[in-house]
Amino acid sequence: MNILYPLKFRPILKEKMWGGNKLKTILNKETHLNNIGESWEISTVGKDISVVVNGNLKGANLADLIKEHKKNLLGNKVYNQFGDQFPLLVKFIDAKRNLSVQLHPNDELAMKRHNSFGKTEMWYVVQADNDSNLIVGFNKNTSKEEYKKYLEEGKITELLNFENIVAGDSYFIKAGKIHAIGAGSLIAEIQQTSDVTYRVYDWDRKDSNGNTRQLHTELALDALEYEINNDFKLVFDQRKNISNQIAHCNYFTTNFLEINNKIVKDYSSLDSFVIIMCIEGEGEIISDSCSNSISIGETMMVPANFKEISFKSDFMKLLEVYIDEL
């Protein structure tokens, strides 16, 4: 008997100076906290370890479940590569104000400096206010010297590429690309398991104690991608009741799935866990052993040893995330 089943975790909510209330008002996160910037949906980063809230495993944490169930939970190839470390971190992010302009080192540099994975990530825009934007990359080819000049003169925003956004847009942010989430954006983020960030500009703001946040100017210089490219905007199909690939890389595959019926997904060939993030609507996830409701703002994880999962809904939109290449 398979004692595993599709797992739902308690979100780990984080107050941020730039956070708002959309995680509560749109994604239905229950909390007395204000200015919630992030909801870590599935995590084993540091002390932020996800805890199961459904079924017989309620109260168990993800790190312990991986140690106990190993390949049955993660998949053979994933476990062989990562062992007991969960390879992804998935979040919802609510930016009431601009996030800092930042970047993340690649695997090689992150391991050398921080004994950590690098961070390649992707964004899916769940909701956006009018005139919301994201910063993705530079607006022209530049160099380390020119970048430093703009930064020192307080003109760094003149060098940045601003992208106007609407709900449903998606972006691929590879390690080294300068970026920022703009005010008014509600984002689903899929990333490598890493919390290494180099902050290079923070809009000259101060916290409630009058302090500015630490910048990582020197660390960023050798981590930045100075040449522009146009591979960051992701275009994908939106056919109903089938998986439509949004992003595919060495670290994760993300699909868009809109359901208005009952469908059966065959995961037998993946050899990977599957993360399901509900970004609109509501429905059911049905396995041989149980049925679980899922609604906007909720995330579930299907263990790798499941072959088939049914989805049933009159209307819901999902992100389907797994590891396909190693």
Residues that are catalytic: 199
Q: Is there a contact between 234 and 172 (Cβ–Cβ < 8 Å)?
A: yes
SS3 content of the chain, % helix, strand, coil (to 5): 15, 40, 45
Q: How far is CA 316 from CA 160, 184, 241, 287, 321, in A?
A: 35, 23, 10, 18, 16
Q: Which tokens sit at 46?
A: 């540091």
Question: Which of 93, 102, 125 shows the shortest CA–CA distance to 179?
Answer: 102
Q: Is there a contact between 125 and 81 (Cβ–Cβ < 8 Å)?
A: no
Q: Is there a contact between 174 and 118 (Cβ–Cβ < 8 Å)?
A: no
Q: Which residue pairs, CB below 8 angstroms and at least 24 apart, start in 51-58?
A: 51/9, 51/10, 52/7, 52/8, 52/9, 52/10, 53/8, 53/9, 53/10, 54/7, 54/8, 54/292, 55/5, 55/7, 55/290, 56/3, 56/5, 57/3, 57/4, 57/5, 57/7
Q: Which tokens sit at 51?
A: 């805890």
How many Å separate Cα 22 from the centre of its chain? 17
